[in-house]
Amino acid sequence: MKIAIIGTGNVGSALGGSFTRAGHDVTFAAQDAVKAGTVAAAIGAQAEATLAGAAQDADVIVLAVPYAATGAVLHELGATTRGKVVIDATNPLKADYSGLATDGGPSAAERIAAAADGARVVKAFNTIFASVQADPTASGRTVDGLLAGDDEAAKETVAELARSIGLRPVDAGPLASARELEGLAWLNIGLQLRNGGSWQTVVALVNPPEKAIAA
């Protein structure tokens, strides 16, 4: 699968490494093109000088930037998102880490879907910390990759991608369910912040409904 990862922070680097090891064709792009090249070279991926250049031929575009940057990123991506599967891996945290900036309104994923040009947006990977994304099987437990979206074919693509790196994909429902996924992520983040956590805590569902396990 051809994957464009927008962002070279902890999440982008971790997912990029896991996708590359799983045999996917990964291309990075970021505002800092030099860093994108450095990160890509370290994991055997590629880099493009522009966001649109990375996304142009990709099957899947992963938004791995701070939520506050997504508007500018989508503007730069422009028409390259049209018809593409766009994975929103962001969490819309308030600047002071006191909660979610989207409380009481649409999720980050829904807002991204409204702003993206013809994209098929799927919320995924946001409930898993970068330390786990870098090696989803390290704990010896099955880590659940919760995902939500309105396009069934797009969700199947993301489920395949999640499965390829060792996650158990679980369909959480329509894109509106991203509100709950972002809330779950914030719950986990809060646990780490308040308790000096190791950022290794994962969500593992016990006996989930069989129909929820993405085929």
Predicted confidence at residue 57, as pLDDT, reads 95
Rg (alpha carbons) of the chain, rounded to whole number:
16
For residues 191-200, average pLDDT: 95
**d(Cα 44, Cα 18) in Å, to the nearest integer?**
11
Strand ranges in 66-196 using DSSP code E only, listed in sequence order: 85-88, 120-124, 144-149, 168-171
Nearest Cα neighbor of 115 from 85, 158, 78, 90 is 78
> What are 45-92's pLDDT values in tens digits?
999 999 999 999 999 999 999 999 999 999 999 999 999 999 999 999
CB atoms within 10 A of CB 130: 17
- DSSP character at residue 213: B
| Residue that has been written with the tokens 């993405």 in this structure | 214
Predicted confidence at residue 68, as pLDDT, reads 95
CB atoms within 10 A of CB 146: 29
Question: If pLDDT is split at 50, 70 and 90, which confidence band does 181 have?
Answer: very high
Nearest Cα neighbor of 178 from 118, 126, 119, 104 is 126
CATH code of the domain made up of 2-212: 3.40.50.720
Question: If pLDDT is split at 50, 70 and 90, which confidence band does 215 have?
Answer: low
Tokens read off for 27: 């291309």
Predicted confidence at residue 3, as pLDDT, reads 98
pLDDT above 70 for 204? yes
Residue ranges of domains in the chain: 2-212
β-strand pairing of 120-124 with 2-6? unpaired
